[in-house]
Structure 1
Amino acid sequence: MSLLRTFTCLLGLLCSTSLLADDLSMTLRYQEPTELNSDRFHQLTREESWKPQHTAIIVCDMWDLHHCRNAVLREQEFAPRLNEVLNKAREQGVTIIHAPSGCMKHYQDHPARTRAQLTPKASHIPDGITSWCYQIPAEEQGIYPVDQSDGGEDDDPQEHADWAKQLESRGLNPRAPWTRQTEALTIDPDKDFISDQGDEVWSILAAADIDNVILAGVHTNMCVLGRPFGLRQLAKNGKNVVLMRDMTDTMYNPGAWPFVSHFSGTDRIISHIEKYVCPTVTSDQIVGGESFRFAKDDRPQVVVVMAEDEYDTNQTLPEFATHYLGKDFRVSYVFGNAEERNDIPGLDLALESADAVLLSVRRRALPTNQMVALRKFIAAGKPVIGIRTACHAFSLRGQGAPDGTETWDKFDPEVFGGNYHNHHNNKLTSQVSPIATAKDHPILTGVSQDSFTQYGSLYKTSPLAEGTTVLLKGKIEEYPAEPVAWTFQRADGGQSFFTSLGHKTDFENPSFQRLLLNSVYWATGLNVPREFDLTVPTPPAKKI
């Protein structure tokens, strides 16, 4: 029997046996603009059912070694989970393609490599499929989220030097020491494929009539995106391609812009992919349980919710979070629906994994599923941070909620211990100053003890409920002072922080910036930094 006929028979056997497998139930996470030409995005999900025999997983550059020692350690940490994914997917009839670039010599006699070479060439090979793809047109609409021009190595310099010497002592090139795929991943000689060539991989997909493709491996911002078999090439050429976002890593150095943690750098790349390239999925959709998380990734998840039209917090809050929260927090954003006032798309999804929520919402009813998720989050004792209009976030001034939605008229007293009942004239400025007896409170760390001018209207909030601790007060001449910032111990056991500050001009005030920053650390149980550089880093010229 000829090798070609052997390949054809084997492929037919694989396809016929996989017909017995259950469909794959996949939850795809993606992002879409909040409105036409917007730079803000809703993070959404959709359910899809995939036939295993029409699905492939491509394992990208899971090499045995790397020039970055930390990259090797992170790969070793998630590789066992990825191997579980491959084994389970293979059992279900999914095609597994191993793509350790530059390592084909090691596998020249391996059956999985031979199988790839014997695959009939597809009748249509897309233009450019054998080349690296640095950008697709959709990405031109956004700003690339990290500076990786230094190569992205995050090793300690001395550790990196020692690692290079160790590689050299083994006769390896310290800049490109890989020779094969990590042994932590099983390659099935009877079913799998090995290839690092775009046209070969495309032909493998075509031969099995595969439209659904999952990419996993390293590194997302480089190889996984750009290789000839990577996300960009497959997306632009019509495959239903997704990134397995918890089975990947990035080459990002926290010493480069935007100066966030390595894990936040990865989050930023994943978000970029969801906006401009393709959706993402997680490993638990194949193997069950929970999605994978690196052991050192202990960042609390903060969800920033914005749905108000008066103070531009859908611009000021993302800028604030981008500049100041990326080192110690995992941050996601939820925006109001531009076409339907009483809807905050993705809120229920975001709250499922949130450790704290930062609210800037004004007079919205919520669809029942979103309100249920919010009440569940708060009843669980999770921390809530509110600014400005959040005290009347879910009240419609006593009006009934539209069909299918709910209000929460007592949100202010129940969640913030507040008593918002009006505000002073917008033309009256107030002087805001810390409460002397609260000067040692963690939220006032680094906040000037001098008074400052508030240009937004002063809210009338007194008297507050029992269980509140006032941190700032505001005063207009000839009027009583009003609480401006306070904490609240809720009846459900959770803690909240609220400030009536949050006017656009407040975000230009270092005292407010530090106050809001400190409140996030305090709410999530982290130590408030004694010092914090509020200088906004300048992004580099756009470069991928």
Structure 2
Amino acid sequence: MRKHDFKNDIDLKYPLLCFLLLILISCGDTSKKEKQEERSVANSDAPLHVVFVTGDEEYRSEESMPMLARLVKRELGAKVTVCYSVDSTGKIDPNRTDHIEGLEALESADLMVLFTRFRNLPEKERYYIADYAELGKPIVGFRTATHAFFYENDSTLTSWNNEWPTKVLGQQWITHHGHFEDGNSPLTAVSAIDGKKHPILNGLEPFEAYSWLYHVDGGEWNLYGDSEPFLKGRSLRSKHEAEGNLAQYPLTNPVAWTKSYTGNSGKKARVFFTTLGHPYDFKIPSMRKLSLNGIYWALGKEDEIPPTGVRGALDIPYEPNNSGFGQVYKKNRRPEIIQ
């Protein structure tokens, strides 16, 4: 009996096997993108999916974003998902910077709302956020998303610290005008920029925010790309004024703008960003209206924003903890599913 020559079989079949393997890998790489890009066509009658990504250890986004998500669900009839930083037992822990649970929801999202601060997420979790942005889908960002990530000990990742938020959202972290016993009284007077008209301003009355003013434009800094500010804040108390630095960091600065971001897909995404976001800000009707109007605009629904603005009245009380670091967040809470 002739001995079978397995070596010859391998030599003959190897190129074919490689070719088939490449096809399988290629299909795997493109299937997720195709699935995301075709969702709007295949499921045009499906409700919008809005994903809120929380994870900051200072501003109680784990409380404000679920409140906002309930309003979005009520007003848009959208499916809403809120992702949280959680500990090993599944309880919400905003002080954990290396994990946000549930980010895979971004694969089917129509809008990402980002409110994170100095996260050092592992690659897989980070790229759920980054991959979403590259698809050219709309983004809404709050306050500390100007410093959404922070990678200190790996030089290959430092571009996420400043470059990514600048390109995608319009600015990085620079400085602010000072805390001054935050939560005791408002620190920033907010009003429309003179002469600016924008549907996000519909129904918006001037208000005083508890957020201390972030510097994003002026002196050596400029908002990035095609950023168009339409709302300004004036610092009511300023460390930079006390230090004589107003030439670099003026008392008045933009607190909300729109821009676009074109990712690898070549599609231009709508981006709405505000540097406001203190937990007590969201008690103010104009802040909730600003947030909802911005979400509508990002989704291309500006024609659906009423002249009085999107309804932001609360159905259930919103009583967040004050901002602050350490153990000042509400304990023993688990992620909630908003039905």
TM-score (structure 2 length as normaliser)? 0.65
Partner of 1:432: 190
Cα deviation per residue 1:374-396 (whole Å; 9 max; x = unaligned)? 22211111111110111101124
Q: Which amino acid aligns with 2:167?
A: E
Partner of 1:353: 108
Matches within 5 A, 1:13-412: 297-328=45-76, 329-339=78-88, 340-347=96-103, 349-396=104-151, 399-401=152-154, 408-409=160-161, 410-412=163-165
Q: Structure 1 residues 344 and 476 mapped into 2: Cα distance closer, same or farther (>3 Å)? A: same
Is 1:453 matched up with 2:231? no
Distance 1:358 1:295 in 2: 21
Distance 2:134 2:43 in 1: 28
Matches within 5 A, 1:469-484: 469-476=228-235, 478=241, 479=246, 480=250, 481-484=252-255
Distance 2:234 2:262 in 1: 30
Aligned-pair CA distance for 1:495: 1.8
Is 1:444 matched up with 2:201? yes
Partner of 2:286: 511
Is 2:292–2:312's contact at 8 Å kept on the other side of the alignment? no
Distance 2:159 2:83 in 1: 18
Q: Secondary structure at the match of 1:365?
A: coil
RMSD: 2.8
Is 1:365–1:402's contact at 8 Å kept on the other side of the alignment? no
Cα deviation per residue 1:268-288 (whole Å; 9 max; x = unaligned)? xxxxxxxxxxxxxxxxxxxxx
Distance 2:113 2:130 in 1: 15
Distance 2:196 2:81 in 1: 31
Which consecutive residues of structure 2, in runs of 5 or more, have no partner in the other structure? 1-37, 89-95, 181-185, 318-339
Which consecutive residues of structure 1, in runs of 5 or more, have no partner in the other structure? 1-289, 540-544
Q: Structure 1 residues 295 and 305 mapped into 2: Cα distance closer, same or farther (>3 Å)? A: closer
Aligned-pair CA distance for 1:407: 6.7
Aligned-pair CA distance for 1:294: 11
Is 2:289–2:311's contact at 8 Å kept on the other side of the alignment? no
Aligned-pair CA distance for 1:332: 0.7
Q: Secondary structure at the match of 1:316?
A: helix
Distance 2:74 2:194 in 1: 31
Higher radius of gyration, 1 or 2: 1
Counting matched residue pairs gives 242
Is 2:75–2:311's contact at 8 Å kept on the other side of the alignment? no
Partner of 2:173: 420
Q: Structure 1 residues 334 and 490 mapped into 2: Cα distance closer, same or farther (>3 Å)? A: same
Distance 2:167 2:56 in 1: 21
Matches within 5 A, 1:489-508: 489-492=260-263, 493-508=268-283
Aligned-pair CA distance for 1:476: 2.3
Partner of 2:297: 522
Distance 1:366 1:353 in 2: 20
Distance 1:359 1:512 in 2: 16
Aligned-pair CA distance for 1:324: 4.1
Partner of 1:537: 315
Is 2:147–2:172's contact at 8 Å kept on the other side of the alignment? no
- Higher RCO (C-alpha under 8 Å, 6+ residues apart): 2
Distance 1:314 1:429 in 2: 22
Q: Which amino acid aligns with 2:225?
A: E
Distance 1:360 1:417 in 2: 15
Identity %: 33
TM-score (structure 1 length as normaliser)? 0.41
Distance 1:296 1:487 in 2: 26
Is 1:342–1:364's contact at 8 Å kept on the other side of the alignment? yes
Q: Which amino acid aligns with 2:312?
A: L
Q: Structure 1 residues 367 and 419 mapped into 2: Cα distance closer, same or farther (>3 Å)? A: closer
Q: Structure 1 residues 460 and 538 mapped into 2: Cα distance closer, same or farther (>3 Å)? A: closer
Is 1:459–1:482's contact at 8 Å kept on the other side of the alignment? yes
